[in-house]
Amino acid sequence: MEDWKPDSWTSKPIKQDVVYDDAQGVQSALAKLQRLPPLVTTQEVQIVNLKKSLRNVALGKAFVLQGGDCAELFDYCNQDMIEAKVKLLLQMSLVLIWGANKPVVRIARIAGQFAKPRSSPMETINGTEMPSFRGDNINGFAADPENRRPDPSRLVSAYFHSAATLNYLRASLSSGMADLHSPLDWGLGHVITPSIKEKYERIVSRVKDALRFMQTVGIDTDRGVETVDVYTSHEGLLLEYEQSLTRLLKTPTTPTPPTPSPPAASTTQPQTQTPPKSYYATSAHFLWIGDRTRQLNGAHIEFFRGITNPIGIKIGPSMTPSELTQILDIVNPSREIGKVTLISRYGAGKIAQYLPAHIAAVQASGHLPVWQCDPMHGNTQSTESGVKTRHFSDILSELRQALEIHRAAGSFLGGMHLELTGEAVTECVGGAGGLTEEGLGERYTTFCDPRLNEKQALELAFLVAGFYREMDEPEGMNSI
């Protein structure tokens, strides 16, 4: 890493870059960001917290739930929307803990998921050509050329909206939002399907029984059941922004856990200690590289190879097995367990064709990443009227296939990555509520891709929990 600096990426070709008219405004905004304090701390990111948790996921000892908006807006930085999103992740994680019988690592797409890659930098609306909406930290959504012009001051606004969101998130969690002593206080909100409410309340009842037992025998003596960790994440798309918030920080002195014997398919590699001083991207705990910006010699791979944070890489049908292992060698040459999360997004009709070869290549390479399924992006389609949507049945199918393929390959599906919201939106077709294409217009509010609503997301958690129960008890319970 001696040849790496936070600005090394500027010497590489870049995809999805933003061209600003105001060069002086860009420099002023970036200089401001460089003076501001980190949004997340080294201790939160390092091995005492998130890195340790993801290491356990890679080893099959935990499960990671990652979810949130496709693209945040600055307006989403308000109490009700933050609470709705976080409470939904808490509800889903409780169900998944029960189903998989493993701890759940919660990572929200929040406090920074503003920018989105687009297929074209320009679009035509009502006969007028203008820049495409790239996210609130780049330009405005309103369809007029001036509003769509990239504005560098939005980079600083993104920082402060992220900071405000993080501040309220931390305060809410520390003051009891996630207290397992009263999970029913979380409220089921828009979930009105009786079967889902009944299943949820049944699991909550079992958790409360366990907590009462702990109190009775005197082992309920700490805050372990009163709060949880919720980490933040976003796609590391705007490298100018990420570079400005990258800091050379001292690494905590907590010793690295011993490395267990690797699977038979892996080569024995020592677990490399994190250097005493390392570069951290402090805009979020976890960043990922999108499927459109993962070029081997590209700027994004170059930036990501130098940061100490755990990172994600989206992989789809266009990724060859050899390219995948080359990327892993570049961003994780020490083969640190759980450092990289591979986020697969093939589509329900393609996953069986591509995932097995990717798993085999990674197993042969000696890397031990976290495998995560994104069943959203490969299943996007448009209705006859041109409305972008996703079918719940396709999302569920890709998740089930991912579980089965990993199990057959001797691998472990360590998590799922979802675009969801705690609001009662109507953007994805299907689910227990029976939303049809005709009903999409009732509350279609996304500014980019369609999201699961609260009802659909919680239902998905129950069904995935049911998959785990079926796999672990083939002769037993077939439904929750």
77 is in an annotated binding site: no
* Spatial CA neighbour of 341 closest among 379, 285, 394, 296: 285
* Spatial CA neighbour of 124 closest among 150, 145, 100, 153: 145
Sorted by sequence, the CB contacts under 8 Å of residue 77 that are 6+ apart come out as: 161, 164, 165
Residue 63 amino acid letter? F
35 is in an annotated binding site: no
109 is in an annotated binding site: yes
CB 21 within 8 A of CB 314: no
170 is in an annotated binding site: no
Which residues are 106's β-sheet partners? 65, 230
136 is in an annotated binding site: no
Which residues are 107's β-sheet partners? 66, 231
Alpha carbon distance 404, 186 (integer Å): 32
In what side-by-side order are the strands of the sheet with 428-429? 380-382, 388-391, 428-429
406 is in an annotated binding site: no
- Pairing between β-strand 413-419 and β-strand 388-391 as defined by DSSP bridges: unpaired
Per-residue exposure over 19-38, b if at least 16 CB sit within 10 Å of its own CB, e if not: ebeeeeebeebbeebeeeeb
85 is in an annotated binding site: no
Distance of CA 13 to the CA centre of its chain: 26
Annotated binding-site residue numbers: 70, 109, 314, 345, 377, 419, 449
- Residue ranges for the known binding site for Mn(2+) are 70, 377, 419, 449
Binding region for phosphoenolpyruvate:
109, 314, 345
